[in-house]
Structure 1
């Protein structure tokens, strides 16, 4: 039982994998490249998308992005608790070929935590994203978590396709 006598909130977990033909170092360099991130946000990021912070060093990279989804494109379960468009702020901290990240959603007591890992796969690279979504709303939080997980999976698929095309054109 939670502190208030209710059952504790259990996050929804999911995993997403994407493969790239390029080697790990090339994929990493692309995923943290300012020009790539800006282009991806312009093409896929929705309303108000922006690269809010971008820092790279020999130790890794730190990114902060904002992405938007038009309210009309959201499932009714999400629209019912959100006034207006969905705005997601996402932070990633890369160290080597792994990143820890966190995303929050405006107006919703929700958080997405994730870990990205790049690893060699044959002549290319596999990106694995392990994530959990937690929505702290009694009774309907679990349903919203599933919707958020589905939407995040679609976004990750679109971002992976975008990265693969970018790599083919720029690597």
Structure 2
């Protein structure tokens, strides 16, 4: 399954990139998603950065067939590699599950603001339930990006 999600910010791409490269912002975004725990590691690398967010999420909002598969909580490890301020790669793994999420993130100028474009390929390798689980996974990823966007919008309004 392919997923494309666009998020608009009322700030220049350089400010949005600086926000995304701030570990305090990433911690605030995790808190907004009500995760059980989150470990954020961000290392600057030239003009870019390498990010790992290792988080444990509740599954109480999932349908029962998915909770049976995922358990009471699920671990998600998000990795981003930005070689520069306008694009990066993104992967999300759930250790111990047959999922594969990979793709890209781009920051595109849009008038006086920025559009963050996330394009992902999601695969859940489970017979019969794979398609349904992919749709649920896509919904959770979108919800996480939307929560991060809400935090980002407020973050960028600060002087």
TM range (shorter): over 0.9
Question: 1:141 maps to what in 2?
Answer: 130
Alignment CA distance shift 1:148-1:89 (3 Å): same
Q: Distance in 1 between matches of 2:32 and 2:144?
A: 12
Match of 1:128 in 2: 117
Shift of 1:117: 0.3
Query: Highest Rg: 1 or 2?
Result: 1
TM-score, length basis structure 1: 0.86
> Please, what TM-score do these two structures have when normalized by structure 2?
0.93
Structure 2 residue 56 is matched with structure 1 residue 75 = no
1:126 CA drift (Å): 0.5
**Structure 2 alignment gaps of length 5 or more:** none
Matched, 1:41 2:46: no
Quickly say closer, same or farther: Cα 1:45–1:104, change in 2 above 3 A. Answer: farther
Do structure 1's residue 24 and structure 2's residue 13 form an aligned pair? Answer: yes
Match of 1:106 in 2: 95
Cα deviation for residue 45 of structure 1 reads 5.1
| Aligned-residue offset at 1:44 | 2.4
In the other structure, the counterpart of 2:47 is 59
Q: What per-residue deviation string (whole Å, max 9, x for no partner) do you get for residues 125-145 of structure 1? A: 000000111111111111100
- CA pair 40-25 structure 1, distance change in 2 beyond 3 A: same
The structural deviation recorded for 1:57 is 2.9
After superposition, the C-alpha distances for 1:69-106 in whole angstroms (9 at most, x for unaligned) are 21212222321212330111110001221010111113
List runs of 5+ in structure 1 lacking aligned partners: 1-11
Aligned match of 1:155: 144
Cα RMSD (Å): 1.4
